[in-house]
């Protein structure tokens, strides 16, 4: 498959601004602000500041070629060090009573997602941060959802190695009545179900599968009642519900799930104004830049998976159209969920094959990568605007995107590609 002429400037994933953090990251390092520009040159590139753990002897104004996997790994390690230091300060600010709010603690925007992202790229997460997350999770009044609830906290704690704390969160999730949950991946049946499918280690496989099937039946029942869905996409639209049901179908081959899967995808394509499904839509939104969580490219990811099970011609055609549009139009903001980082990961997934190695996937993405010029400077010499640390729209999501470029294998959750 030919590579499109429009290049995805992954440098733009890094042209963001993060809060100044004076704390040290590790011995023999010092904190510095780093100005990053792309290979297009200083004049027309947008620059920004990142938290950076720059070694004392490191040369200033160096060029990092992201197409060189070794250089990219160095960049990931340095960015992870700055994020870990910032996370340490944030947990100190959130210590004590009352317990942190769901948004500050949860998977999408809070500390659970930040620490999970660090673990995913192989960065060291201090034990104190894991302990803080476990204790705060036990104290906070939270729902069962993925984005800001106990499902996401349990996933993070398992990834961080605190399986006992994670088990307490899973136990609370299992007490939830499925009828009390909505449809969405963000905080409903789809998110809880996908989190359970991602659970590791699994202590009782039969019980887990039974619970997942119960959630899938509850979701299908709600869809038969034709509930009103006002949004589209993975997090709060039909695509997230379809994604969960697709994975349950992979496990059970229950053909009664195929109709609700198709219903969810048709809903989102209608809202995007695609083809005959969009005859009532004001604009063909699928032709515009679309985010992973709430836009067209996330729908394209699920359509790509649905092609394995739905024979309708519109499934493959819509997936192809959305993928081609996504290669041409990309969001300017840098984040994972609603920005360019997520779009790059989605394109890697859509344009790669399951049998490809990590090296082959990275080679497929190499034409999209541009060199970065990193300019060292003292903290405070340039104005800054805070960017959150969170996974969805902050530094942790950018870190995850850089760490997963070229990674082989596929995951169930949209954050995990």
Q: pLDDT tens digit string along 19-52? A: 333 333 332 223 333 344 433 333 333 333 344 3
Higher pLDDT, 257 or 382: 257
Q: What is the CA radius of gyration of the chain?
A: 21
What is the reported pTM? 0.81
- Asked if pLDDT for residue 281 goes beyond 70, the answer is no
**What pLDDT was estimated at residue 154?**
96
Helical (H) or strand (E) element with 272:
helix 258-272
Question: Higher pLDDT residue, 370 or 256?
Answer: 256
**Coil vs helix vs strand at 65:** strand
**pLDDT of amino acid 1:** 39
275: confidence class by pLDDT, cuts 50, 70, 90: confident
d(CA 20, CA 32): 9
- pLDDT, one tens digit per residue, over 86-131 is 888 888 777 777 778 888 899 999 999 999 999 988 899 999 999 9
Categorize the per-residue pLDDT at 16 as very low, low, confident or very high, splitting at 50, 70 and 90: very low
Q: Answer yes or no: are the C-beta atoms of 352 and 359 closer than 8 Å.
A: no
Q: Which of 214, 223, 292 is nearest to 259 (CA)?
A: 223
- Mean pLDDT (whole number) for 273-279: 79
pLDDT of residue 32: 36
String of DSSP letters for 304-353? HHHTTT---HHHHHHHHHHHHHHHH---SS--SSSSHHHHHHHHHHHHS-
Q: First-to-last CA distance in the chain?
A: 21
């Amino acid at each position: 498959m030919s590579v499109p002429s429009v290049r995805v400037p992954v440098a733009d994933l890094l042209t963001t601004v993060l809060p100044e953090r004076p704390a040290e990251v590790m011995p023999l390092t010092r904190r510095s602000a780093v100005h990053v520009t792309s290979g297009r040159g200083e004049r027309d590139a947008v620059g920004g500041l990142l938290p950076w753990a720059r070694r004392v002897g490191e040369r200033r104004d160096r060029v990092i070629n992201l197409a060189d996997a070794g250089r990219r790994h160095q960049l990931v390690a340095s960015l992870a060090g700055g994020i870990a230091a910032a996370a340490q300060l944030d947990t100190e600010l959130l210590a004590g009573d009352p317990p942190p709010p769901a948004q500050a603690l949860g998977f999408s925007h809070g500390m659970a997602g930040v620490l999970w992202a660090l673990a995913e790229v192989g960065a060291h997460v201090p034990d104190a941060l894991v302990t803080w997350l476990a204790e705060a999770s036990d104290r906070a009044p939270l729902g069962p959802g993925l984005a800001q609830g106990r499902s996401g906290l349990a996933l993070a704690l398992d990834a961080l190695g605190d399986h006992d704390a994670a088990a307490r969160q899973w136990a609370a999730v299992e007490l939830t009545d499925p009828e009390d949950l909505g449809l969405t991946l963000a905080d409903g049946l789809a998110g809880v179900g996908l989190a359970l499918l991602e659970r590791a280690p699994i202590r009782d496989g039969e019980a887990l599968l039974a619970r997942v099937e119960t959630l899938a039946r509850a979701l299908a029942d709600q869809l038969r009642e034709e509930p009103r869905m006002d949004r589209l996409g993975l997090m709060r639209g039909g695509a997230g519900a379809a994604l969960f049901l697709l994975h349950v179908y992979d496990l059970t081959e229950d053909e009664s799930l195929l109709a609700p899967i198709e219903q969810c995808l048709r809903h989102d394509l209608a809202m995007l104004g695609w083809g005959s499904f969009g005859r009532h839509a004001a604009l063909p939104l699928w032709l515009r830049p679309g985010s992973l969580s709430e836009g067209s490219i996330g729908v394209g990811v699920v359509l790509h998976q649905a092609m394995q099970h739905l024979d309708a011609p519109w499934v493959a055609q819509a997936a192809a159209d959305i993928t081609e549009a996504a290669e041409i139009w990309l969001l300017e903001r840098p984040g994972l969920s609603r920005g360019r980082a997520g779009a790059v990961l989605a394109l890697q997934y859509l344009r790669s094959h399951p049998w490809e190695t990590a090296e082959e996937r990275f080679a497929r993405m190499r034409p999209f990568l541009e060199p970065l010029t990193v300019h060292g400077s003292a903290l405070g010499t340039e104005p800054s605007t805070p960017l959150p640390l969170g996974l969805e729209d902050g530094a942790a999501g950018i870190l995850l995107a850089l760490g997963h470029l070229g990674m082989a294998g596929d995951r169930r959750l949209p954050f995990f590609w």
